[in-house]
Structure 1
Amino acid sequence: MAPRLLVLSNGHGEDLIALRVLHALHRRRPELEIHVLPLVGEGGAFAAAEAAGELRRVGPRRRLPSGGFSNQSLRGLLRDLAAGVLGLSWRQWRLVRRWGRGGDPVLAVGDLLPLLLAWCSGAPYGFIGTPKSDYTWRSGPGASLLADAYHRLKGSEWDPWEWALMAARHCRLVAVRDRLTARGLRSHGVAALAPGNPMMDGLDPDPLPPDLARHRRLVLLAGSRMPEALGNLERLLTALDGLPPAPQPWLVLAATGSRPSPDQLAPLLRRRGLEPRPLPAGTGAAAAWGRSGLLLLVGPGCFGAWAGWGEVGLAAAGTATEQLVGLGIPALSLPGPGPQFKLGFARRQSRLLGGSVGVCRSGRELADGLLRLLREPQRRRRLGLIGRRRMGPPGGGEALAALVEARLLAPAAATGTVAR
């Protein structure tokens, strides 16, 4: 029988990270049967790989009202409960338990939920811890001095119950996003590694079309969770209304995922006074909109190609914002009502990234901060270097795939003899 692996992932950003690792793993072990259980949402990030025969999505899936962020508000939790999250989690738990009885390994990507389910399987498992970094609480005082003191007392962003699951007998691999976090976990008996950050893999910007070089270029990231993404986009565009006329025209690169689609964006853009424009050559854009002194391009799936064109990012997103600053492009964020990109999330993200993302409380503050960044190229470069250091170089997906192969798929791993 072909070897099998079950992958648990709990969010859109986690799905993208898992996908990079699984692409590399498929290249190394094309005979491997990869089964993916998205714990939050429908796992749309895996659709193309599934169509190509690299993996198969399994188990019950449902798009939750909170978008997987029910831990950030009581209202989000109540809406998820009303939508049947407990029944969904119960069915997912049963699937993982059935898988574990076969003895095939499990790879958990995310935080406590997939880690706990992997442990419950009873099978050998590995864990890629994506959201937590000790940089968050080590980057100066945060909004909660009590939370900072708690993390300082522990010496780790991860909690004691998570240490226990990572140090369990069946856990063969623990990988986290940076060396600082790995060192904190090792002080608590967890053999954590930091082989690289797969979030930076596959970001190969296209050459900037010459016709766009004269523009001041902004990368706009509104997120992918609907309808929150539409609200984020409208707030960011409203902030741009406060910009003064400039000698150079503005270029706004709205790099989106599959949602919101260009058709979903069209009514909003018309309300903002934009009109359809011809598509510029060489951009890959799906739609172009403009008004005097401003051109906005809509590009589903264009983030990797466009990210390197930007001078500054305007952000209300999670993973894509981290990737953007990892390419050396500082950003300004504008939190909203959520459920994901709220003020607390934005502040935490800024601390994680060493201030390379500046949190703004209003559209006026964002417009002023943008003008300052554009006038100060040295400051942009300094913040860009911080972002690069915090996110690390590409290559993490391949390194993690090699570790999964060695520790979860090798014959020794099945017998529990792999040294940790």
Structure 2
Amino acid sequence: MISNGHGEDLIALKILEALHRLQPAWTVKVFPLVGQGSCFQAAVEQGWLEKIGPGARLPSGGFSNQSLPALLSDLMAGLPLLTWRQWICLQKQRRSIAATLAVGDLLPLLMAWSTRRPFGFIGTPKSDYTWSSGPGQALSDRYHALKGSEWDPWEWQLMKLRSCRLVAMRDRLTARGLRRHGVNASSPGNPMMDGLAPSPPPACLERCRRILLLCGSRMPEALHNFRRLISGLMQMPSPVPLAVLAALGSSPLQHELGELLRGLGFRNCPPPSSALETAECWVHGPVLLLIGPGRFQRWVAWAEAGVATAGTATEQMVGMGIPALSLPGRGPQFTHGFAERQSRLLGGAVRTCRSEEELGHRLAQLLHDPLLRQEMGRMGRQRMGPSGGSEAIAREVIGQLAPDR
């Protein structure tokens, strides 16, 4: 399994877990091309998954395609040498593997093809919704419309190769666009929605309006975005009892947030209930801030709305029917272009704000308009699709890439 990004790693892990349940005797290796692949660590420690390959933290966090400065910073940090070392490692591995499954975009697709073994491809970051809906006047939109797919000709040529046994896209629209170009693409379900289920909030939060805060996990961008999102929440025109559920990833770390929160006027306090499963609790007037690393899967179902500067987690949140507001920053990931693209991909289930003041005002409007929340939530569920994709893809892998084929 080759993956190239934090979101791609999470999707790869869900598929690998389903594959392990169905074929526990298979030897499975994972090769994360971006970062350290920390989400795979528990499976590695359990002994059923092996992690291989050289990894490194790049300045852009894997988003060198977002801007020229991000690309230049990665090049200066050794991206060409890292890619070369990863390619060499993969060529050494190919003698001992039966097949390869790539998750992401062109780079893992090329890597899988280079093994000269049967391979499959899970195309996660691209969707035809990003150009077929919305204004559609940008040059890139016209380019994709001319092709009839967001995927490029060199990408679908690789997908059409005889050695490519499996192509799965994130939605039916994108798969249909590829089939027009002769690619046998399917859309068996969205692995991003697996493991997420509705659940009622604990009684101690029922009187509060509940907001999920997602600042991303790439430092120092995540820390900067956390401060801006909190500042925006505090500028709501009519303060109401507000429970802000800050579900953190591997970073920023909790101690990195303490000084920032004190500077904003928050004070540390004991959690009001053990049911909150939180390590830290902060309060400022009517705002109760709960900080919990690794709590996303539990807390997302409690939220009425979200504020976000994240990628995959934002998509998962709106896929649960929870509307969101985003606040683009300096990047390298969550730039204005990224946020606009995300909003169009999700059909307006997440809407972009231009300032902290606008975030506060629009969040107040969203909380007081149940019909708007319902409509945005409906669009989010539609665009992300149902759960069950991980097992469906795992079964296709067994059928198409089994070692005895």
Identity %: 59
Displacement of 1:204 in angstroms is 3.0
AA matched with 2:51: R
User: Is residue 2:220 matched to residue 1:224?
Assistant: no
Shift of 1:103: 5.2
Q: 2:189 aligns with which of 189, 192, 196?
A: 196
Give the structure-1-normalised TM-score.
0.94
Do residues 261 (structure 1) and 268 (structure 2) align? no
TM-score (norm 2): 0.98
3-state SS in 2 of match to 1:276: strand
For residue 225 of structure 1, report the CA deviation from its aligned partner: 0.7
CA deviations on 1:226-274 (whole Å, 9 max, x unpaired) are: 111101100111112211343x411100011121121121111111111
Residue matched to 1:271: 263
- 1:299 deviates by 0.9
Q: CA deviation at 1:181?
A: 0.5
Secondary structure at the aligned position of 1:89 is classed as: helix
Correspondence for 2:78: 84
Determine if the alignment matches structure 1 residue 335 to structure 2 residue 328. Answer: yes
SS in structure 2 of the partner of residue 71 of structure 1: coil
Change (3 A) 1:213 1:284: same
Q: Secondary structure at the match of 1:72?
A: coil
Gaps of 5+ in 2: none
Q: Partner residue of 1:365? A: 358
Measured after TM superposition, the shift of residue 308 of structure 1 is 1.2
8 Å Cα contact 1:325/1:356 also seen in 2: yes
Q: Given the alignment, which residue of 192, 197, 210 partners 2:203?
A: 210
Deviates more, 1:254-263 or 1:212-221: 254-263
1:397 aligned counterpart, secondary structure: helix
CA shift for structure 1 position 101:
3.5
8 A Cα contact 2:2 2:103, kept in partner? yes
Identify the match of residue 103 of structure 2 among 105, 109, 119: 109
Distance 2:332 2:165 in 1: 34
- Count of equivalent residues: 404
For each residue in 1:375-403, what CA deviation from the matched residue of structure 2 results, as whole angstroms up to 9, or x when unmatched? Answer: 11011001100000000111111111111
- State the partner residue of 2:61: 67
Equivalent pair of 2:215/2:248 in contact (CA under 8 Å): yes
- The CA distance in 1 between the partners of 2:245 and 2:86, in whole Å, is 38
Give the counterpart of 2:397 among 404, 407, 416. Answer: 404
Give the counterpart letter for 1:344 in structure 2.
G
Work out the CA distance in 2 between the residues paired with 1:252 and 1:103: 47
List aligned pairs for 1:171-190, cutoff 5 A.
Answer: 171-190=164-183
1:386 aligns with 2:379: yes
Q: CA RMSD in A?
A: 1.1
Contact 1:334 1:360 in 2 (8 A): yes
In 2: Cα distance, 1:73 partner to 1:376 partner: 37
Match of 1:416 in 2: none
Q: Is this contact kept in 2: 1:223–1:318, CA < 8 A? A: yes
Letter in structure 2 aligned against 1:339: P
Shift of 1:280: 2.7
Query: Which residue matches 1:312?
Result: 305
Q: Which amino acid aligns with 1:268?
A: L
The answer as to 2:160 corresponding to 1:134 is: no
Aligned pair partner of 1:120 in 114, 117, 133: 114
Counterpart Cα distance in 1 of 2:163 and 2:311: 31
Number of the residue aligned with 1:54: 48
**Which runs of 5 or more residues in structure 1 are unaligned?**
1-6, 413-420
How far apart, in 2, do the equivalents of 1:98 and 1:406 lie?
A: 26
Aligned residue type for 2:146? L
* Aligned partner letter, 2:69: R
Asked if the contact 1:103/1:124 (under 8 Å) is kept, the reply is no
| 1:149 match | 142
1:205 Cα deviation (Å)? 4.8
Q: Deviations over 1:347-383 (max 9, x none)?
A: 0000000001001111111111111111110110011
